[in-house]
Structure 1
Amino acid sequence: MSAPFVLAVSGPPGSGKTTLSHALSERFGGAPVLAYDAYEEITGWPPERVAAWLAGGAPLDAVPVPGLAEDLARLRRGEPVPDRERGGTLRLSRRAARPVIVLDTLLGRAHPGTGAQIDHLVWLDLPLDVALARKLRSFTGAARRDPTAAPGLLEALDAYLGRYDALLHPTYALQRERVRPAADQILGAGTLAAHLDAVQSAIQSTLHATLTAVPTPTA
């Protein structure tokens, strides 16, 4: 089997990177998805610590994502790792000529631990106001699905918006400044299906017919 191909998807929160990552997993034969959000700890920082980090130049090597680089390296070696996002275990798919690993990450190649392991980086180029609108709809959508959770969601939404001007918007602007330039592919507005086709077209020759099914090894 060929060495795994690490396909990373990045963009601001609300850009649809998680949706695209899991759709790419399906497109590429059940590829495992490693999610930055399942490892990151910066959202647990108090506002004053985030403000100090921004004032100090916002070094991305100071963003704590314990275990993410190590789990990505293990998957690349063909070892299983825990699925911290959805539970269970992540393994390379045996249904493709060259296995793919999808990395759903805010940091792209700018993160020293995982950046060097990325083979192809997709940036979802969504304006921050549109990304914010989508993020807000994630709160309202959750409240519609479970009205009993609405009070807690309203409190979380209020806290999110309370931090947006001073902390979150500057962080997202820095992300765009530092992550976008290193992208191999930039996707703007478009449907999920169009984005899937664009990514597949961009990397297909490198993958050497990844989508060609191969027999599943028997025990």
Structure 2
Amino acid sequence: MNYTIEFVDKISHAEEERMTKDLVAYESAHEIDVNYKTFSLVLKDDNGIVFAVLNAFTAFAEIYVDDIWVDTAHRGKGFGKKLLQELERHFQGKGFNNINLVTSVFQAPGFYEKCGFQAEFVRVNKKNPKLTKTFFVKFFNDEVQTQGILKRDKHTDRINSKKSHPLIIGISGISGAGKSTLVKKLAETLQSTTIFWDDYDEISKGPQNYVEWFYSSKDYNDWIYPELVDTLHQLKKGETIVCPATRRNLTPTKYILLDAPLGYCHQATGKYIDFLICLDTPLDIALARRLIRDHQDNPNPQKMIQELEKYLSKSRPLFILSPEEKTSDLLVDGSLSLQEQEKQVLNALSLFEEKISDKNE
């Protein structure tokens, strides 16, 4: 076979998809999840100006720190250490093995040692000693390592052998209803793949101003999420894919848990939902959760007051579920404890599965 080798700035989207699909298939055959996701931690001042950044990514069971930057005016005040501490706190207890980072002699190897990182080895650059690199690691003390391993449940092999289709379980509700929390809790219990609507925001289109949308068209199909639709379609067929938004492996487990804020109202994604749970959460609880979620890391009283004023004057009706929005297979009181919510959902799913079995017999 004749061939050529070329240097290119970037391969095409089609080539990347083909390569990724093949790599995922190889990893899946070894029950390995690449678990790749890039992210950043940022520090902001009272005016919302970012003055420190940590860029990193997850891969398999590890976290890799790419860059740490602190604005010159704020260096020497411990902000770099705060970013590393928050990184460790965030991933502690989530089944990861370690955090990796690499630094050169001219940078800050001593700083990372003070932050508790261990030097695994040094790659000496004899021609330019300033570029000698130290490879640091910090291990988590988690008893169980769950990341990097394909999540399989006891039903997976049975489903695959029968070529059954996964059941997509949607969870809808207003912002602050507790959708993501319930999805994560159920995923842990059921060992299920999860999909979060918000992960697709940056690669999708939707109304920029929710209040204006509410008082004008209020057409749920204004949210155009083709990548999410394709994700649901592929999983429904029983295919393992790479999430186009997060680059995580998504496997067709028995149940696929979908954070679906618009529920059945969004036709493009709603048609893939087999069973919809609507969290009917009191407005005061949802509001309190949103304020805590959005302001706990960078509390700004003035911004909170502005948000509350907007809520009282304009946006409150946006959070009142209409009868159409409450249309679901199970309505759950969002003020209940997470344990009670999970209990109700598991009982309902058991009954739902019995009905499916009766129909198939």
Tell whether the structures are fold-level matches, with TM greater than 0.5. Answer: yes
TM superposition score normalised by structure 1: 0.74
CA distance in 2, matches of 1:60, 1:23: 27
Give the structure 2 partner of residue 199 of structure 1. 345
Give the deviation of 1:162 after TM superposition. 5.6
Give the structure 2 partner of residue 8 of structure 1. 170
CA distance in 1, matches of 2:266, 2:303: 28
Give the deviation of 1:165 after TM superposition. 4.0
Aligned length: 189
Give the structure 2 partner of residue 217 of structure 1. none
Give the deviation of 1:52 after TM superposition. 4.3
Per-residue CA deviations over 1:26-53 (Å, capped at 9, x if unaligned) read 1212x111111112367771x4xx4543
Where do 5+ consecutive residues of structure 2 fail to align? 1-158, 355-361
Give the structure 1 partner of residue 229 of structure 2. 69
Per-residue CA deviations over 1:178-200 (Å, capped at 9, x if unaligned) read 311x1111111321111111111
- SS state at 1:39 partner: helix
Per-residue CA deviations over 1:120-140 (Å, capped at 9, x if unaligned) read 111111111210011111134
TM superposition score normalised by structure 2: 0.47
Check the 8 A contact 2:168/2:274 in 1, yes or no.
Answer: yes
Is 1:120 the counterpart of 2:275 in the alignment?
Answer: yes
Give the structure 1 partner of residue 196 of structure 2. 35
Counterpart code for 1:39: Y
CA distance in 2, matches of 1:85, 1:20: 21
Instruction: Please identify the structure whose Cα radius of gyration is greater.
Output: 2
Question: 1:1-219 alignment to 2 at 5 Å?
Answer: 1=159, 2-29=164-191, 31-40=192-201, 45=208, 47=209, 50-83=210-243, 87-93=247-253, 99-141=254-296, 143=297, 150=298, 157=304, 160-161=307-308, 163-165=310-312, 168-173=315-320, 175-180=321-326, 182-188=327-333, 189-207=335-353
Q: CA RMSD in A?
A: 2.7
Give the deviation of 1:84 after TM superposition. 6.1
The structure in which a higher percent of residues are strand is: 2
Check the 8 A contact 1:34/1:104 in 2, yes or no.
Answer: yes
The structure in which a higher percent of residues are helix is: 1
52 and 137 in structure 1: CA distance in 2 versus 1, 3 angstrom threshold: closer
